[in-house]
Structure 1
Amino acid sequence: MPELPEMETYKTLLGSLIDGQKISDVEIGREKSINVPVERFTTQVSNQAIKTINRRAKYLIFQLQDDSCLLLHLMLGGWMFFGKEEDKPNRTIQVKLSFGEQHLYFIGLRLGYLHLLSPEEVKEELEKLGPEVLHPDFTLDAFQQLMQKRKGTIKTTLINQEVLAGIGNGYSDEILWHAEIRPDKKINELADQQLTRLYHSIQFILKKGIEQGGYMDNPLYKGDGKTGGYQFYVYDKEGKECSRCDTIIIKKEISSRKTYFCPNCQQ
């Protein structure tokens, strides 16, 4: 599932490709991917320029010139491709936004969606989300205060979008590996030093993920050399050697989530 670094990468790259561009045509291949009747969606979105593209947690918000918004959540397996018709992937397209001869294809939206909403509806949709962990206001002190109110395992807490916005299953494992903390540790078992380390690991791993274009294999456009440069340290590395201590990485289910960690150097 695309997480904060993947969606931030999409935001940045799409900003350079379609910001200010007019949507010349709309095609809906799967009605369940949108939230209003097809005719209303196509009529309202066609001939509108993209005003801004913003990210909140794992969402992208395309603000149109009439201030209405397209709220995108890719969920599990969703991705996008931008380019000409002859360059598009041989995959089923759920939604297609055209910008003249170039098109933005939304692929794999079986669980994901692109909803047409007012700014007020977007605000309501996202109001339960926790803080943006890379925002300057999200200080170490703010993080420690937040953690003092929580119970349960640290892995489950990291991926709870109402606690911290944007961290998912993959990067939570990466963060905990970097912080040398077991994912099944209870929050109240963590010393102040471990919480401090965890905060700095959140910052380090997510910023590295963004700098390297996230982990998704599918390029956004032909010749895209940015997307997918991030290489996992521990996530999905069961049976491989830990790059820090050479111990074999193991997999465990925590709250029904596949979780990968080093049983030696994560304590």
Structure 2
Amino acid sequence: MPELPEMENYKNLLKEKIGNQVITEVQINREKSININPDLFKKTVQHQKIIDIKRRGKHLLFELQNEQTLLLHLMLGGWMFFGTESDKPDRTIQVRLSFGQNHLYFIGLRLGYLHLYNRTQTEEKLADLGPEPINSDFTLNEFLKRIGSKHGRLKTTMLDQSFIAGIGNCYSAEICYHAGIVPTKDIDDINEGARGKLYHSMQSVLQDGIKHGGYMDNPLFKGDALTGGFNDRCQVYDREGQPCNRCGATIVIEMISSRKTFYCPNCQK
């Protein structure tokens, strides 16, 4: 599932491709991927200029000239591709937004969605999300304050979008590895020094993920050499049975709250 770095990467690249561009046509192939009548959706979105693209947690917000917002959540299996009809992947397309001869294809939106809201509705939909971990106003003190009110396993807390927005299965594992803390540990057993290290690891890993285009390797457009570049930089995620790059021990996998959790049992304490 795309997480904060993947969606930030999409945001940055799409701003270059479709920022201030007019949506010339809308194609809906799966009505369940949108939230209103398809004809009304098309009427409201078509011929509108995209004035900005923002990210909130794992969501993208396409802000239109008519003050409506397309709210995207790719969920599990969702991705996007931008290009011409001849360039597009041989996959089922749920929604297509056209920009002249180029199109933005929404693929794999079986669990994900592209919903249309006004600004007030958009704010309401995102109201339960926690702070953005890479924003400058999310300080160490703010993190310590928030985690100080939490209990239970660290992994479960990091996946809680009301605690911090945008972190999922991959980056929670990578952050815990970077900090040298086992994700199965109870928060009450993590001292303030280790909590501070966790905060700095979160900043480092997420920024590195953005810099290298995230871990999901479906290219956004033909010739895209950035997207998915973090996949080879993952230290523990999806590496069970392989040696730890830090100590040589074998990476293990464990289920926590029905989620696969990867860590090094030797150097994560």
Please confirm whether the aligned pair reaches a TM-score higher than 0.5, indicating the same fold. Answer: yes
* Residue of structure 2 equivalent to 1:38: 38
Per-residue deviation, 1:216: 1.0
1:169 has 2:173 as partner: no
SS of the residue 1:198 aligns to: helix
Structure 1 letter corresponding to 2:89:
P
CA distance in 2 between partners of 1:216 and 1:262 (Å): 22
- What's the offset of the Cα at 1:86? 0.2
Q: Distance in 1 between matches of 2:83 and 2:100?
A: 10
Q: Deviations over 1:106-141 (max 9, x none)?
A: 000000000000000000000000000001111011
> In the alignment, which residue of structure 2 is the partner of 1:120?
120
TM-score, normalised to structure 2, is 0.99
Amino acid at match of 1:43: K
1:42-191 matched pairs, under 5 angstroms = 42-191=42-191
Once the two structures are superposed, what CA deviation does each residue of 1:190-248 show, in whole Å capped at 9, x if it has no partner? 01110011000000000000000001111000001110100211001000000000000
Identity of aligned residues (%): 56
Number of equivalent positions: 267
Q: Distance in 2 between matches of 1:30 and 1:39?
A: 13
Q: Distance in 1 between matches of 2:265 and 2:255?
A: 14
Matched, 1:235 2:237: yes
Name the residue aligned to 2:6: 6
2:257 aligns with: 255
Superposed CA RMSD in Å reads 0.4
1:219 alignment partner in structure 2: 219
Q: Deviations over 1:35-88 (max 9, x none)?
A: 001000011100001010000000000000001000000000100000000000
Any idea what the Cα deviations from partners look like across 1:78-106, whole Å, max 9, x if unmatched? 00000000000000000000000000000
Q: Secondary structure at the match of 1:72?
A: strand
Aligned-partner residue type, residue 242 of structure 2 = K
Q: Which one-letter code corresponds to 2:131 in the other structure? A: P
For 1:191 and 1:116, the matched residues in 2 are separated by: 44
Unaligned stretches of 5+ in structure 1?
Answer: none
Which 4+ runs in 1 deviate beyond 4 A?
none
Instruction: Report the AA paired with residue 241 of structure 2.
Output: G
Give the Cα–Cα distance (whole angstroms) in 1 for the partners of residues 130 and 49 of structure 2: 30
